[in-house]
Structure 1
Amino acid sequence: MALACPSCEEAAAEYVGMADDGRNEMRCTACGHHWLLGAKPVSPRAVAPKPAPKAARSPAPRAPAPRPPAPRATPPPRAAAVGAPAATPAVARFPTLDDVGDEALRRLAALKAAWPRVRPRPDPYAADFRRLHELMFSRAGLPHTEPGQLRDFVTSDVLALSGNTTSFAREWRRLGDRDASRRFRGVVEYLLRGENGEDVDTDDDLPLPDRFTALAEGRSEHAMGGVREPVLTRILAVARPERFLPVLTVDGGSGGEGKRELTRSVLGLELPTLDRGRHTVGRLACGSNDLLVDALGAGFPDLDDAAAFLIWAHGQN
């Protein structure tokens, strides 16, 4: 059962990420309230600034002659001033809509106003593709999906391209249809519902961004070769179409249309760089998606249309 929001008391809490003191940051999807869950941090994953190095206890002033007052004549060590950068938090928090400047918001509003209200769908087959796979990936439908349906989901160009699928195709051939489809079903089930099989994250299970990371990096027993960030994001985009944009990577590479580039050009924000401590691939993928969706707001029939707008707005620079 979902955690209740302390503000509106709706059972609509979702995990946002780890706060700087190691507690879990939560958000209510009903009223938007943010809060920190838990007492004092005890997790070794908690990130805290390292104390400034103790002022070198080296034998203070090395006076050539034994002059006892010399140590007191020396000003206190300036180690704290020299090491000032250490006072900056080791890892900045993930940016939110509050970090978007007023000028960027005004420009975004102007771009939305200029976006044609009557326009062709970005992909006329996308809506049907979403509906089909939303049913296929449901708890009831997933066990009955056929191997060919699962394989074609990854390699199809409907909705968005999954990028280079050579390693996925190689792994599928190595395992064979039966074992490969069983393995891919395990990826989908674990990504969407975790170990507990719940559609909403629970306190005793890894949150979605961390499950994403474990699968993308091959560290989960449920992982499958060739199923990395683009395929995992594609699963989320069809299974949770109200939350996830069909923009499948954070970094767009040579194409330059990943969520990092879109955030930079449309919102004027720079996403954190990828690291294996706090800003993992899963937290970047989910956090950047949520930031863009929050900033876009209303005015789009669905997130397919919103993604098409982002690509268009990116091209206006």
Structure 2
Amino acid sequence: MALACPSCEVGAAEYVGMADDGRNEMRCTSCGHHWMHGARPVSPRAVVAKPVKTPTPRARAPRATTTPRSSAPRSAAAPAAAAAAPVVRRLPTLDDVPGEALQRLAALKAAWPRQRPRPDPYAADFRRLYELMFSRAGLPHAEPGQLKDFVTTDVLALSGNTSSFSREWRKLGDRDASQRFRDAIEYLLRGESGDDEQSPDDPPLPDRFTALVDQTSPHAMGGARESVLTHVLAVARPERFLPILTVDGGSGGEGKREIVASVLGVELPPVDRGRHTIGRVACGSNDLLVDALGAGFADLDDAAAFLLWAHAQA
């Protein structure tokens, strides 16, 4: 049973990540409220370190020498300086966004041109088709050609360079490749339990995402990495995930990291294999952007188009 939200009391809590003090950051998928779960430990930063006493050098008896000695202290006798601990940045939330950035965001929303190119007429049908296909009832019956087309098409969002996915597909063949891809999608969306809601017996969605990207899960498929998995989430969970498929935009500069920096004025921490895994940064940055955008968009496809436009204005 999901943890209840302290704001709306609906059992819709979702794990976001670990805060600096070791507590779990949670988010309500019903009302969007963020809170910290668990007892607050005593921070090591609250403990004042005792001053280190520098030993007084012992006097040495002078000795005769024909070569004058330098009066400068010997560097070998100096104590080695302790290396500074690396600064670990936590994943930012809406509370970290400067007020002036939110004011600028509101001004950009008001200035966003309403007369934009007409949307792809196939996009709505594409979304409905694959949203049903990725459902618990539909996924076992998804055809190999439809699954492969989902990755290689540019409808809604292009999954980037798909050569490794196509290479893996050819190596496995249609039957085995489609089964591996269905398995990866099922684990991403519903975990081992097969529940559409987060099960306490399954790792949180960001950690399942990471295991699939890093190929540490038995459900992983070669080539089905960050952009492919985010594309799946944007179609299967359209109320939560933007069709912006990567954290780092590369040479194009249109990833979530660049958009968060230019539009919201905050920085995402570097992706690592410890605390800030690819799944936690990908999901956390998505949620931050959605929280900051607020209302005023037809859907998150519309919101993503606005973000790309706002990023270009920076």
TM-score, normalised to structure 1, is 0.85
- In the alignment, the residues of structure 2 paired with residue 310 and residue 244 of structure 1 have an alpha-carbon distance, to the nearest angstrom, of 13
Distance 2:124 2:7 in 1: 35
Aligned: 1:228 with 2:240 = no
Paired position in structure 1 for 2:112 = 115
Q: Percent identity?
A: 74
Matched, 1:170 2:170: no
Residue 61 in 1 paired to residue 18 in 2? no
Q: Which amino acid aligns with 2:126?
A: F
SS in 1 for 2:121: coil
Q: Distance in 2 between matches of 1:254 and 1:150?
A: 28
Instruction: Give the partner amino acid of 1:15.
Output: Y
State the AA in 2 paired with 1:115.
Answer: W
SS at match of 1:315: helix
The 1:96–1:84 alpha-carbon spacing in structure 2 relative to 1, beyond 3 Å, is farther
Q: Which amino acid aligns with 1:110?
A: A
Is 1:216 the counterpart of 2:213? The answer is yes
Q: 2:274 aligns with which of 277, 296, 305?
A: 277
C-alpha contact (below 8 Å) 2:32/2:291 kept by paired residues: no
Cα shift at 1:22: 3.0
Question: What is the Cα deviation at residue 30 of structure 1?
Answer: 3.2
Where does the alignment leave 5 or more consecutive residues of structure 1 unmatched? Answer: 42-46, 67-78
Partner of 1:198: 195
Gaps of 5+ in 2: 62-78
SS in 2 for 1:243: coil
| Residue among 143, 146, 152 paired with 1:146 | 143
How far apart, in 1, do the equivalents of 2:178 and 2:53 lie? 63
Which amino acid in the other structure matches residue 26 of structure 1? M
1:265 is the counterpart of 2:262: yes
1:11 counterpart = 2:11: yes
Q: Which amino acid aligns with 2:169?
A: W
CA RMSD of aligned residues (A): 2.6
* Structure with the greater alpha carbon radius of gyration: 2
Q: Which residue of 2 aligns with 1:125?
A: 122
Report whether the alignment pairs 1:25 with 2:22.
no
Distance in 2, Cα, partners of 1:30 & 1:240: 13
Decide whether the 8 Å contact of 1:122 with 1:308 is kept in 2: no
**1:250 and 1:204 mapped to 2: Cα distance?**
28
- Answer yes or no: is the 8 Å Cα contact 2:249–2:255 preserved in 1: yes
User: How many Å separate the matches in 2 of 1:57 and 1:313?
Assistant: 55
AA at the equivalent of 1:61:
T
Cα deviation code 1:29-71 (max 9, x no counterpart) = 3344333334578xxxxx977x99987788x2222259xxxxx
Q: Is the 8 A contact 2:198 2:204 kept in 1?
A: yes
Match for residue 249 of structure 1?
Answer: 246
SS at match of 1:171: helix
Output the CA distance in 2 between the equivalents of 1:302 and 1:27. 20
Contact map agreement 1:147 1:181 (CA 8 A) in 2:
yes
Give the Cα–Cα distance (whole angstroms) in 1 for the partners of residues 308 and 40 of structure 2: 42
Letter in 1 for 2:259: L
One-letter amino acid of the structure 1 residue matched with residue 57 of structure 2: R
Aligned AA (1:129)? F
**Structure 1 contact 95–291 (Cα < 8 Å) conserved:** yes
Q: Distance in 2 between matches of 1:277 and 1:159?
A: 32
Quick one: distance in 2 between partners of 1:106 and 1:224?
A: 43
Stretch of structure 1 that moved more, 160-169 or 16-25: 16-25
My pick for the range that moved more, 263-272 or 110-119, is: 110-119
Deviates more, 1:16-25 or 1:197-206: 16-25
Deviation string for 1:85-134 (max 9, x for gaps)? 54x8x522210111111111111111100112343344332222111101
The aligned residue for residue 156 of structure 2 is 159
Name the CA distance, whole Å, in 2 between partners of 1:52 and 1:231.
48
Tell me whether 1:182 sits opposite 2:179 in the alignment: yes
**Structure 2 CA distance for partners of 1:312 and 1:265, relative to 1, 3 Å:** same
1:125 partner SS: helix
For these two proteins, the number of residue pairs brought into alignment is: 295
Q: How far apart in 2 are the matches of 1:186 and 1:48? A: 43
**Equivalent residues of 1:20, 1:48 under 8 A apart:** no
Q: Give yes or no for contact 1:121–1:305 (8 Å, CA) kept in 2.
A: no
State the TM-score, normalized to the length of structure 2. Answer: 0.86
